[in-house]
Copies of this chain bind each other. A is one copy, B any other.
Amino acid sequence: MSDSDPSFNLSCPFPIEDYPQVIMAHGGGGKLTHDLIQKMFLSAFGNSIANQQLDGAVFEAPGQTLVMSTDSHVISPLFFPGGDIGSLAVYGTTNDVAMCGARPLYLSIAFILEEGFSMKSLWKITQSIKAAADHTGVKIVTGDTKVVDRGKGDGIYINTTGFGHRETSLDISPKSIREGDAVIISGDIGRHGIAVMASREGLEFATDLISDCGPLSPIVENLLASDINIHCMRDLTRGGLATAILEICDQSSIEVILEEKNIPITGAVQGACEILGLDPHYVANEGCFAAFLPTDQVEKALEVIRAFSQGKKAAVIGRVESAGQSGLSMLTKIGTHRIVTMLSGEQLPRIC
């Protein structure tokens, strides 16, 4: 979807024709800020909590264990195959809440807009946020809008902070991982990073690559409802599969061995990575997670995940070899062992 996408519904209660671009006064707190919030954001996101327009959102908590997660989104380009900064901002944060075993309930949205940013793009992003929030079942309950001078931003940055309720009594965290646990993955890796890079650089060989940007909370909800004894989960965003598993190894002092041949990856992503000299195990995903669980729970877990369209390629990719010392290695396709370490940065910046 781009700014010129003819299928995009432009009917917006905010007068885009009068203000085709963001101006400083849209962030000044006066009438123009008020109009932008009322006619663009609240017209899209409005609900009984947000509509109160207090300094914060006031709501009743449905239970006692709560989860809070925050993420700022600075992706370039803003629109990419399979999503845009709006859907990314919703899924990125609600997926993090889900990874803690909680159902995402409430979301705050804070925009930093650059003077001159296209109002039409802002409305498209707003609609995309709304669609993603509806899909995830999360309510947008409070927000903020700031405008920075031309040349002091990059179009739009979006922070979302999500808040959810954890009903399970499982302690889903690295310290719950046990020796012998299986490591499973919910889908094929590398699509988000490669799709964004192809879109950024205009790579023609990769035009059919679509980001996996999407919601993980419905999958997690079904796993928990099926009484799968999940020890730990993590979504494979910035830094990809390798970085996520390394972080968990580091936090829980476990040694993990992954089997390269079992890690699902499409031919298109594999090919693009080879041409670009990237290792797909470090490339970002936005709708894929790894989970640690007892081996006797694996079949049932895979069945639950595969019932979702984005989970068809779910697979067992490794095991926890020993507890007590930290490390990650990979049994390669040619049968050798390779030590996996953390990159100093990421192969692709500005990916989320």
Contact = CB atoms under 8 A, between A and B. Distances in A.
A74 interface: yes
Given A345-B30, A345-B32, A161 B70 contact: yes
Nearest to A68: B57
5 contacts: A57-B68, A57-B69, A59-B67, A68-B108, A153-B154
A109 B71 CA distance: 9
B110 A71 contact: yes
B148 A56 contact: no
Contacts of A235: 55
Contacts of A161: 68, 70, 108, 110, 159, 161
A179 interface: no
A24 interface: yes
What number of copies of this chain does the assembly contain?
Answer: 2
A280 interface: no
With most chain B CB atoms within 10 A of its CB, the pick from A59, A100, A146 is A146
Interface of A: 23-34, 52-61, 63-74, 95-97, 99-100, 102, 106, 108-112, 141-144, 146-149, 151-154, 157, 159, 161-164, 166, 173, 234-235, 237-239, 243, 247, 251, 284, 342-346, 349-350
Given A66-B59, A152-B154, A157-B157, A74 B345 contact: no
A237 B152 CA distance: 22
Contacts of A164: 56
A344 B239 contact: no
B56 A112 contact: no
With most chain B CB atoms within 10 A of its CB, the pick from A52, A55, A153, A247 is A55
Nearest to A284: B29
